[in-house]
Amino acid sequence: MSPTADPRRAQAQLGDRSLFASLDARAYLNHAAISPVSDPVRARVAELLDDYARLGAGAFPAWHRQRCELKLLLAELLGAGAEQLALISNTTRGVTDIALCLPWRAGDRVAVFRGEFPGNVTPWQRAAELFDLELLMLEAEAYRHEPDGALRQLEQALRAGLRLVAVSSVQFQTGLRMPLEQIGALCRHYGAELFVDAIQSCGAVPVDVVAWQADYVTCGSHKFLMGLEGAAFLYVHPNRAAALRPHVAGWLSHEDAERFLCEGPGHLRYDRPFRKRADMFEGGTGTAVGFAALGASVELILQLGVERIYAHANRYLDLLEPPLIARGFRSLRCPDPQRRSCILSLDPPADINVVDLRRRLLERGVACAIPDGKLRFAPHWPNGLGEVAFVIDAVDQSLQVMRSQAATRTS
């Protein structure tokens, strides 16, 4: 078999979607929602299922090793250590784990951002209710228009006393990439902790947990990491792990948790100490399929390099943005290239219903999303630059049909 024909030895190339043989949409621009599954991911999952079908529990050791290797790959992606990571079920679970386990003091203040995905707000609201905390709502949009002013406002809040700042590295609606190095430096200076939801970055926008000075980072695998739903990770800074309370602990949160299963009698105990590392959050059995898929997709991403993927996706968006603006769309892409992600969001022209537009684009082979009414395009490494003309053509056809139908209705 040639290397490209065998998906287990696949070579990814920027702008080449040949590893997505089953993908329907001609322009798949919805990686900020759920990515399509590549052939190497399918092959890895099929391999796992074959093993479990043949061996049952006998398949466990090899796929347990795969999860340890996955942590090494994710660590490389984040600039972290593998032992600083927990494999968990979803991004929100990572937020919840920290929100429930921080050693809060009544009256502690937490800053969240208006405009954030609710996954990074609801758990902090619950913690506020349970632990008598105060939530402060800052404005994410301010970082697009006037980042210096927004940082000054954050500094004021920190000076007045914040225990933690919870923010997404990239805003899901607008694609704004937050200035995390500056936010992290301010948090460090004023003694606050920094929590980052990185699901709109990891896999396509460079991430460096050390440069961010982040204390906690969480991310699910079904968006730019190109894995499946139901698998995620949580990074915990080594200096923070010991202070966390085991409020969500399970049987695997203890040191030597599995000894009673394989070392003969006398090891079944309920008083083993809790792990003082990120993996205290791996309280029970996780998704073998999800982590196998994630391993295969991250291998491809590392093969290509996140910096190259980021540059490629932005070349795509550089081509897509001007013709849309010329057609009356208002771009929400940040004027500062440093603050851009792999998302282009736009407000459609005033006479265009965005729900209808999205449906018509999909019918024409363009998959995109409409979070809170913004038209959101999110390319990734397989999108070829040649697609852009096709997307614009689909937009033109859709606008034309919608306008002529509106004209018929009013005549």
Ligand X SMILES: Cc1ncc(COP(=O)(O)O)c(C=O)c1O
Which residues contact ligand X by CB under 6 A? 90-92, 117, 119-120, 168, 172, 197, 199-200, 220, 232
Map residue 239 onto helix, strand or coil.
helix
Residue pair 361/368 in contact by the 8 Å Cβ criterion? yes
Give the phi and the psi of residue 378 in degrees, each rounded to 5.
-140, 90
- The minimum distance between CB 192 and ligand X, in angstroms, equals 21
- The minimum distance between CB 120 and ligand X, in angstroms, equals 6
Closer to ligand X at the Cβ: 14 or 121? Answer: 121
- The minimum distance between CB 289 and ligand X, in angstroms, equals 16
Closer to ligand X at the Cβ: 173 or 398? Answer: 173
Closer to ligand X at the Cβ: 14 or 232? Answer: 232
Nearest to 380 by CA among 25, 24, 21, 30: 30
Find all residues with CB under 8 Å of 242, minimum gap 6, and list them: 276
Closer to ligand X at the Cβ: 290 or 295? Answer: 290
- The minimum distance between CB 348 and ligand X, in angstroms, equals 21
Nearest to 236 by CA among 105, 78, 107: 78
Both ends of the chain: CA-CA distance in Å? 63
Residue pair 296/231 in contact by the 8 Å Cβ criterion? no
- The minimum distance between CB 168 and ligand X, in angstroms, equals 4
Closer to ligand X at the Cβ: 178 or 346? Answer: 178
- The two tokens of residue 79 are 């600039």
Residue pair 86/276 in contact by the 8 Å Cβ criterion? no
- The minimum distance between CB 367 and ligand X, in angstroms, equals 15
Tell me how far apart the alpha carbons of residues 217 and 85 are, in angstroms, rounded to a whole number.
Answer: 9
- The minimum distance between CB 291 and ligand X, in angstroms, equals 14
Residue pair 232/95 in contact by the 8 Å Cβ criterion? no
Tell me how far apart the alpha carbons of residues 273 and 303 are, in angstroms, rounded to a whole number.
Answer: 39
Ranked by CB distance to ligand X, the top (closest) residue is 220
Closer to ligand X at the Cβ: 90 or 213? Answer: 90
Closer to ligand X at the Cβ: 66 or 168? Answer: 168
DSSP-derived letter for residue 37 is P
